[in-house]
Structure 1
Amino acid sequence: MAAPQQVHVRAAPLARALRTRVAAAAASASSPERALLGLSEPDLRQLAVDLGQQSYRGKQLHDLLYKSRAKQIQEFSHVPKVFREALVGAGWKVGRSPVHHAVTASDGTTKILLKLEDNRLIETVGIPVDDDKGPSRLTACVSSQVGCPLRCSFCATGKGGFARNLHAHEIVEQVLAIEETFQHRVTNVVFMGMGEPMLNLKSVLEAHRCLNKELKIGQRMITISTVGVPSTIKKLASHKLQSTLAVSLHAPNQKLRETIVPTGINDAKEHAEELAELLHTCGGGYHVNLIPYNPIQGSEYKRPYRKVVQAFVDALEARKITVSVRQTRGLDANAACGQLRNEFQKNPLLESSPSSEPNLVPA
């Protein structure tokens, strides 16, 4: 029997429970591209003026980016040729990447590989849902880094190493790619793909703003997930977003957490009781989301039996902790949570580089 992979607690003030070693993203994103995607209408208006055009040309750019979804400046047929040439001459690009590969699971979940300008591949997942919360919801699971420096032992992404942080537009374009693939508007966004969002907070916040303001996705429909980086969580809290923070605890105590969930040791009744006690000491407003482990190739861990998961749920509910079990999606497409492994590069995610071994520092 194996354990539920993670416990997501939808609240932030858990710093004392989250003291663990985390990797500092020593390698920031490579030299920033001059990408139009991600810019606000005021930014685009100012850019137009800076390039000798009238301000309203910036509004046209905004419509081309977020309504027409143009992918190349050459597609900007509604603006003068001289303006298009000025944009190209100044080094500006739209900031859209081609779809390198896509695979769809039997449940409709689709994993998309995008090929970035530096030839690295990132993964994003589209998850269609019809349930009692409303018809035709479409969730985008987006990546925040190329690879991940944390290397949780159960996670496929970390096994490929860490290359760099994503720029904001590289996060936003994942949502656009999903909308184009499904021909449906994305209603929810979860930062639960490749990487640790708290180690790329600047780009995550910029992307969050764009998703909310330019793509009109409500803040309450956006979830940011983290394994727990206390100092950065505090910075995130200072922005007073109306989004959900999902903290992946993995275990109810630090000693167990540091083992990173070996098979069958974090799903016992006493662990549920200890978790409930921990949450009660932290106050109210928490919701536990249990994630049964998704098996990956080469891993010794196994998915728990349903009765084991249900016993864990029962133990939490008996102690008045609200809890749900994450529905597994895209398992047969390697698209389920924890399955984000790049299968299309000889050495997944990166070639050998100085940035692939970030230093570990105390949180």
Structure 2
Amino acid sequence: MKKFKGFIKKEFYHIFRDKRSLFILFGMPIAQIMLFGFAITNEINNVDIAILDHAKDATTKEIINKISASSYFSIHQFIENESDIESVFKTGKIKAVLNFEKDFSKNLIKENQATLQIIADATDPNTANTISNYVNAMLLNYLKEQNKDIKIAYQIMPQTRMVYNPELKSVYMFVPGVMTIILMLVSAMMTSISISKEKELGTMEILLVSPLKPFLVIVGKVFPYIFLSIINAAVIIILSMFVFKMPVQGSLFLLGLESVLFIITSLSLGILISTISATQQTAMMISLMGLMLPTILLSGFIFPISSMPLPLQIISNIIPAKWFIIIVKGIMLKGVGLSFIWKETLVLFGMTVFYMVISVKKYNIRLE
């Protein structure tokens, strides 16, 4: 029995000495429960909306102030003309426009009825529906307060219009997200495992002491995977267009270029993972756990980023998938050009350069 107790003690010592095991045992569950607890929500918070107020009277100002005072919406801008609605949606920041009819207050008092149009960006149908429901609930609450002391009740008739996805097809939301996840995981995983295998077998050291510079070794190792991932992307786009009837309102050529940029970004991330992974198993675990969960939860694929706590919103900015989903939805559903998505493109390009520079430096350290 003493020998058995000694054996158990030894195992505890081994576990406590291994920091990676402790991290997996205690760190991963905490990280996952925090991510799932805060990121997974059907509620909306601080959603950016725009106001088109044709009436500009006391009643519309009162309703606007009530909406602005809530934690659900943040009034990002006021627009003057209906022609501006499409351009504010194409920026990708505005999720809904509230359009107050002319003579809103006058119609409410004289005819006991006025109209408010809710125009929602339905590229994310779940969020669009939730926005419409929240606005309707706030209007009912406002009318309840106003109708206390009058005989004939006032009525505000909300008219909801969904743009870019009027039929609220969920496939319009899932295709860009699934495309992003597949390209991210396949590209990053293939690269990280491939290079980790060379390191595990000891053949990577032979390559690194060859006349080729570390940068050329890395590029040469990744180059074939670029073509394989491009084929993967082309298949996904073709299937989404012809099987799932996903529209491509913008330029197919631009979509292809942006997909290639994202593939290179993902491959660069895979190289970075390989530099910190001694074995294929470690690279696989980092690729799956370190990329899959953040990509699904913090990219805006399923859950709106604006509804997450501020720390998670900040962290989401370092997730490449977030920027690519904005680009894909913009090109495929809104028909935007490079002038609307140049910031997201620049972010992906900057991430690629950053990953490549860090990876090359780490390989240089190994040579010294």
- Judge same fold: TM > 0.5, yes or no: no
Q: Please identify which structure carries the higher helix content.
A: 2
Structure possessing the higher radius of gyration over alpha carbons? 2
TM range (shorter): under 0.3
Q: Please identify which structure carries the higher strand content.
A: 1
The TM-score with structure 2 as length reference comes to: 0.27
Task: Determine which structure has greater relative contact order: mean sequence separation of CA pairs < 8 Å that are 6+ residues apart, divided by chain length.
Answer: 1
The TM-score with structure 1 as length reference comes to: 0.27
